Every structure is written in structure tokens, then in C-alpha cells.
Amino acid sequence: MAEYAAPLHDMRFVLKHVVGLDQVNTLPGCEEVADDVVDAILEEAAKFAGEVLSPLNAIGDRVGAGLKDGAVATPPGFKEAYRQFVENGWGNMSSPAQFGGQGLPSLIATPVEEMWGSANLAFKLCPMLTLGAVEAINHAASPELKQRFLPNMVSGKWTGTMNLTEPQAGSDLSLVRSKAVPQPDGSYCISGDKIFITYGEQDYTENIIHLVLARIEGAPEGVKGISLFVVPKYLPGSDGSPGERNAVKCVSLEHKMGIHASPTAVMAYEGATGYLVGEPHHGLAYMFVMMNAARFGVGLEGVSISERAFQRARDWARERLQGRPLGVAGAPKTAPIIQHPDVKRMLLTMKSCAEATRALAYQVAALLDRSRHHPDDGERRRCQALVDLLIPVVKGWSTEVGIEVASLGIQVHGGMGFIEETGAAQHLRDARISTIYEGTTGIQANDLVGRKVGREGGATMKALLGEMAKLPAALAGSGNPDLQAIGARLSAALAALSRATEWIATLYPTDPGAVAAGSVYYLKLAGFACGGWMMARAARVAAAQLAAGEGDAEFLRAKLVTARFYADHLLPQADAFAEVLVGGGASVKAADEALI
């Protein structure tokens, strides 16, 4: 079976010619990342993803993580892969330089993280969550706590986890009940049960650093009484050794639909020693710092799964011989199924969705870097507003698309897709969690229509729409029929997004319930329209390079074909999403729950 091959060509094209790598690597603090350095990083990452992580993906699914006497055994090969991953410096790319990280821009780290997710989603979760924990500690903890934990977490010697969920507190963290009792030495005694803790226990490293939400005795009810604690598995000694075992243990692992190699732990804190991060009762705000990054990371999982599922389906469709394609002149009686129009349509849907979600995610990564490093305060704020607007779109839309694409991947395989050995089914099973964890699509959508569009009268979205609206006009005057067709479809999709944005901006203050009833439609509309904008930009560059005789003609022609397909096949949905959003709230409201 073919292993994952990173789409280096498309990654580089988007980085360099669509989202402006050259502008990111002139930002203060990002100057070291010259073009050839980026190329080298991507090539090395592609090797590691294809040669080390991808071959472990199937066995990880088949064997899964197991628990015996409180100790987790990850599937064969995973521990060694993690060791190599850390040794090769892949664990600390984005971590702060102050604690030994490489501090690379998000725009460089993003394609690399995409590769890990394509090659082995279950493996990727461990470094992703460690990075999130590093960011939260670095953001809010005392210098002493940072010094005690961050160097070993940044190096990958120790891993990090996020402990939010409890059986009664899933999406609603106000219901968190875990308790923290102050101790004379300034530490806290932590008790409670946490569920769904990804890599809550593992056999990769000598220590695990848990970030735990809990209530300090006497804290107010609701989200304003939640504090954040560092609770290490072993209490580090001053010599840097892991130290004494803490009173936290993994009591069971969940039996999940997918990502079997990732141990999803039920954790029991039984009077464990914990250290308060930052101020009391500010835990949720600190956790959101790492959740924003984690949400972007999960959105990227949608890109990863789409790419991997597409590659597998395309390779299958090129080899599998069945039937004579309809309406293809001179087609043989038994042709590769990629020649059948419906199979081609499915593959183009998969490919164009992978490319559109990728381009939008990279665009957000570039904005993230500008929001952090741009010298101008106003530009930083402008970029931050766009990042805040688009992260729920990247998270919600890319993962919803990833599930669709993984499901199409099974369909392309026919009956063989339903057989586990083929590998196509794993992608759907793995992908299925991505629209749920780090906030469901509904929660992303409510964040988008509420905090991001409703409360500011749609200002940031309208600014983005103004920017995007310039493109169709430019494409109309290009003289290139493909670009003109793409521009026309994009124009219609942007009109739908504009109409929907106006409707939300107007209605949200008085009827947030009607808006919430259609918020997922708006999220998808925003995703497809913004994805269309990215694809149209890519197509424009491709056409220009082709006309100038630059670049790889076959890649550029493929980009034009895929962008045109996306415009013709995916963008026409936009109007339906707007229509259902605007016209559908009443029938949800009218449905008393007793009638459902």
C-alpha cells in the first residue's frame, strides 16, 4: 500500500505565491526563515511523515493503545517514532526560543503539522496538545513555574495534556466540579474525575504535565470560579529528575470509533499536588489561549484527512479497472475507474476541498504571524480580528469537509472501501472526532455568529468581504475564460455571504435564537466562500505563471482545473446556505421540543 506523500508542490505554491511567505519572513523575529530554509524543513518533514509516521498509521488503528495496571502501552513503533520525532527537533518548532524552542512562524509550522496529521493523526495529537500546554503556561504562569516545567516540555522530554471535560461537564465548562484546596506550601490539593484526556497517560516519556481546570474551595459558581493548575504525573525535583509520583492516575481508556492509537484517558485526581497558573478564577481565560491554537490545529486535521483520503482514493482509482467510461471517446471496455465521470467528480471534489481548506488555513497562519510580529500596532490588531473571525471557520468548516471527503474516499473504493484492510475506512473513523473535540461545529458556529459577527455588527466580516470582492472584478477583466467563470461563481458566493452577514448583524441583537438555529449554515457558507476566494487567488497566479512560461506547467494547469471545478461544483451551494439561514430560523423555533 502506498504511503502518504506530502503535497510539497501545492504547499510551496500556496506559501510562496498565494499567502505571502515573503511578507512573513521579513517580519521582525522571522527573518531567519529564508526560502531555502523553508524548503529544507518541508522536505525533511515530508520524509519523516512518509517514512516513519505513515507506515505506523494502520497498525496504530489495528492494535490501539492499551491499559494494564495503570500503565498505557502505545502500539508497536509509536514510542520509537516519538523518540525520533523529538530528536529531529519536530517537537519544538513553534515553541518559545526562551525555553529552547525554535520559535518558527506559524506559517512554516502549519504545513509541517498538516503532514503529521495526514501521516498519522493519532500520533500528531500528543505534540499538538503539548504545544498547547506550553503556550498556556508561557502565557499565564509564574516565572518559577515556567522555569520548572517549560524547558522539558519544549524539548519533548515531557508531554502536556488538557484536562477540561468531566462526565457532567462536556461543552459546558461551568459545570466543572473538580476541587482545589490550598496547602500551606502554596500548592493545591486537586481532586476530581476528568474524561476524554488525550494522551492522559502514555509510555513515550518519563513525565506528563497535566493542565487541569478545577475550583478553589469557596470559588464562585459557573465559569468565573474556575482556576487552572499544573499537575505533573511526577513532582519534579530541583535536580530536574521526574521526582515523586503524584496522586493522579489513568483509570481507564475509552473504546473509540477512531484514532485508536491515541490513548483517551479517564483520569482520577485523588488529592494530587497542583500548582496554580496565574490568578485564581481566571482558568477559563487561560485555557482559551491554548484552545484557540488547538482549534486551529484541529481545523488543520480536516485538511490532513482530506489530503490523505484523496491520495489513497486517487491511487486506487488509477489502478482499479472496471467498465467502460460513459461518453469518453475511445475509452477501452475496461478502464481505470478514474476515467468514469462520477469517480472523477468525486476525486475532484476531494482534491479541490483539500486545496481550498489548506489555502484558507495557511492564510490564517500568515495572519497569525502578522498579528504577533508586525511592527504596526493597527496592522497587528487588524490581523488579530481576522484570525479571531476565521479560526472557528477553519476549525468547523475544514473538519466538516474532512468527514465528507473521507466518506467520499470510501465511496471511490466501492466495496473494498468498507473492508478495513484497505485503509480508507480508518480515515473516516479518525476524522469523525474532529468536528467534536475542541468545541463542536455548533459551538464554533455560535462563536462565529455571536462573538465574531453579531456583537460587532459584522464589522470584520464586512471588511474581509470588501477585500474579497475586489477579486471577481479583476478576474472579469482577465480575458481568461476559466478565471472569468471562477470570478462569476465567486461573486455570487460572496453576495450570499454578504446577505447572510447583514442578516446576522441586524437580527442578532434582538433574536439570537433564530441566528443560532442557522449558525452552522453560516459557518459553512463562510468556509466555502473564503475557500473559493483562496482558490480563485491561486488560479489567478497559476494563469499568470502559465502565461509567462514560469513554473511547472502541469501543476499549474491542474491548479486551474481544480479551481474551476471548485467554483462550478462547490460554490453554488453558497446561495442555498444563505437561503436556509435566513428562511429557516422560524421553523426551528416553532418546533417545541415535545414535538421532536
- Please report, as residue ranges, which positions from 313 to 352 form the binding site for a copy of itself (by CB under 8 A): 314, 318, 320-323, 325-328, 333-334, 336, 338-348, 351
State the CB neighbour count (10 A cutoff) for residue 221.
10
Q: Which is nearer to a copy of itself, 99 or 397 (CB)?
A: 397
Q: Which residues contact 400 (CB under 8 A, 6 or more apart)?
A: 302, 435, 441, 524, 527
> Minimum distance between the CB of residue 403 and a copy of itself, rounded to whole angstroms?
7
Dmax (CA) for the chain in angstroms is 84
State the CB neighbour count (10 A cutoff) for residue 220.
11
> Minimum distance between the CB of residue 446 and a copy of itself, rounded to whole angstroms?
7
Give the residue, chosen from 517, 525, 529, 546, that forms a contact with a copy of itself under the rule CB under 8 A. 517
What is the sign, positive or negative, of the torsion defined by CA atoms of 289, 295, 296, 297?
positive
- Residue 273 CB-density burial (10 A; 0-12 exposed, 13-18 middle, 19+ buried): buried
Site for a copy of itself in 240-279 (CB under 8 A): 254-258
> Minimum distance between the CB of residue 144 and a copy of itself, rounded to whole angstroms?
34
Distance CA 464, CA 377 (A): 19
> Minimum distance between the CB of residue 302 and a copy of itself, rounded to whole angstroms?
14
**Residue 472 near residue 533 (C-beta atoms within 8 A):** no
Q: Which is nearer to a copy of itself, 365 or 424 (CB)?
A: 424
- The span of 69-77, 286-294, 370-378, 414-422 binding a copy of itself (CB under 8 A) equals 414-422
Q: Which is nearer to a copy of itself, 237 or 583 (CB)?
A: 583
Residue type, 237: G
Does residue 565 touch a copy of itself according to CB under 8 A?
yes
Distance CA 236, CA 147 (A): 11
Q: Which is nearer to a copy of itself, 388 or 482 (CB)?
A: 482
Give the residue, chosen from 29, 80, 513, 550, that forms a contact with a copy of itself under the rule CB under 8 A. 513
Phi/psi at 371 (5° precision): -65, -25
Distance CA 90, CA 42 (A): 11
Q: Which is nearer to a copy of itself, 317 or 368 (CB)?
A: 317
Rounded to the nearest angstrom, the gap between the alpha carbon of residue 21 and the centroid of all alpha carbons in its chain is 20
Kindly write out the interface string for residues 10-49 of this chain, putting x where it contacts a copy of itself by CB under 8 A and - elsewhere: ----------------------------------------
> Minimum distance between the CB of residue 564 and a copy of itself, rounded to whole angstroms?
5
SS3 state at 200: coil
Site for a copy of itself in 437-466 (CB under 8 A): 437, 440-442, 445-446, 450
Does residue 216 touch a copy of itself according to CB under 8 A?
no
Site for a copy of itself in 196-215 (CB under 8 A): 196
Site for a copy of itself in 161-180 (CB under 8 A): 165, 168-172, 174-175
Distances (CA, A) of 68 to 160, 202, 400: 21, 11, 35
Q: CA nearest 208: which of 260, 252, 162?
A: 162
Q: Which is nearer to a copy of itself, 3 or 254 (CB)?
A: 254
> Minimum distance between the CB of residue 340 and a copy of itself, rounded to whole angstroms?
7
Q: Which is nearer to a copy of itself, 27 or 425 (CB)?
A: 425
Does residue 554 touch a copy of itself according to CB under 8 A?
yes
Q: Which is nearer to a copy of itself, 76 or 513 (CB)?
A: 513
Q: Which is nearer to a copy of itself, 104 or 516 (CB)?
A: 516
Does residue 140 touch a copy of itself according to CB under 8 A?
no
Place of cell 516540555: 153
Does residue 587 touch a copy of itself according to CB under 8 A?
yes
Does residue 226 touch a copy of itself according to CB under 8 A?
no
Rounded to the nearest angstrom, the gap between the alpha carbon of residue 399 and the centroid of all alpha carbons in its chain is 7
> Minimum distance between the CB of residue 338 and a copy of itself, rounded to whole angstroms?
5
Give the residue, chosen from 105, 156, 417, 458, that forms a contact with a copy of itself under the rule CB under 8 A. 417
Does residue 1 touch a copy of itself according to CB under 8 A?
no
> Minimum distance between the CB of residue 577 and a copy of itself, rounded to whole angstroms?
9
> Minimum distance between the CB of residue 478 and a copy of itself, rounded to whole angstroms?
17
Site for a copy of itself in 46-75 (CB under 8 A): none
Distances (CA, A) of 276 to 189, 223, 280, 281: 10, 16, 7, 10
Grid cell listed for 296: 486551529
Give the residue, chosen from 419, 474, 476, 547, that forms a contact with a copy of itself under the rule CB under 8 A. 419
Whether 438 is a known active-site residue: answer yes
Q: CA nearest 557: which of 538, 533, 571?
A: 538
Does residue 235 touch a copy of itself according to CB under 8 A?
no
Left, alpha or beta for 137 (phi > 0: left; psi -120 to 50: alpha)? alpha
- Residue 276 CB-density burial (10 A; 0-12 exposed, 13-18 middle, 19+ buried): buried
Residue type, 9: H
Does residue 594 touch a copy of itself according to CB under 8 A?
yes
Give the residue, chosen from 31, 36, 239, 596, that forms a contact with a copy of itself under the rule CB under 8 A. 596
Kindly write out the interface string for residues 366-405 of this chain, putting x where it contacts a copy of itself by CB under 8 A and - elsewhere: -------------------------------------x--
Distance CA 137, CA 444 (A): 24
> Minimum distance between the CB of residue 450 and a copy of itself, rounded to whole angstroms?
8
Catalytic residue among 113, 244, 438, 550: 438
**Residue 149 near residue 232 (C-beta atoms within 8 A):** yes
Give the residue, chosen from 1, 2, 34, 588, that forms a contact with a copy of itself under the rule CB under 8 A. 588
> Minimum distance between the CB of residue 5 and a copy of itself, rounded to whole angstroms?
15
Looking only at the bridges linking them, the beta strands covering 227-232 and 179-182 are unpaired
**Residue 374 near residue 308 (C-beta atoms within 8 A):** no
Residue type, 6: A
Q: How many chain residues bind a copy of itself (CB under 8 A)?
A: 107
Q: At what angle do helices 283-319 and 106-119 cross, to 10 degrees?
A: 60
Q: CA nearest 516: which of 422, 441, 463?
A: 441
Grid cell listed for 528: 466555502
Give the residue, chosen from 79, 382, 462, 569, that forms a contact with a copy of itself under the rule CB under 8 A. 569
Give the residue, chosen from 30, 211, 425, 543, that forms a contact with a copy of itself under the rule CB under 8 A. 425
User: Which residues are known to be catalytic?
Assistant: 438
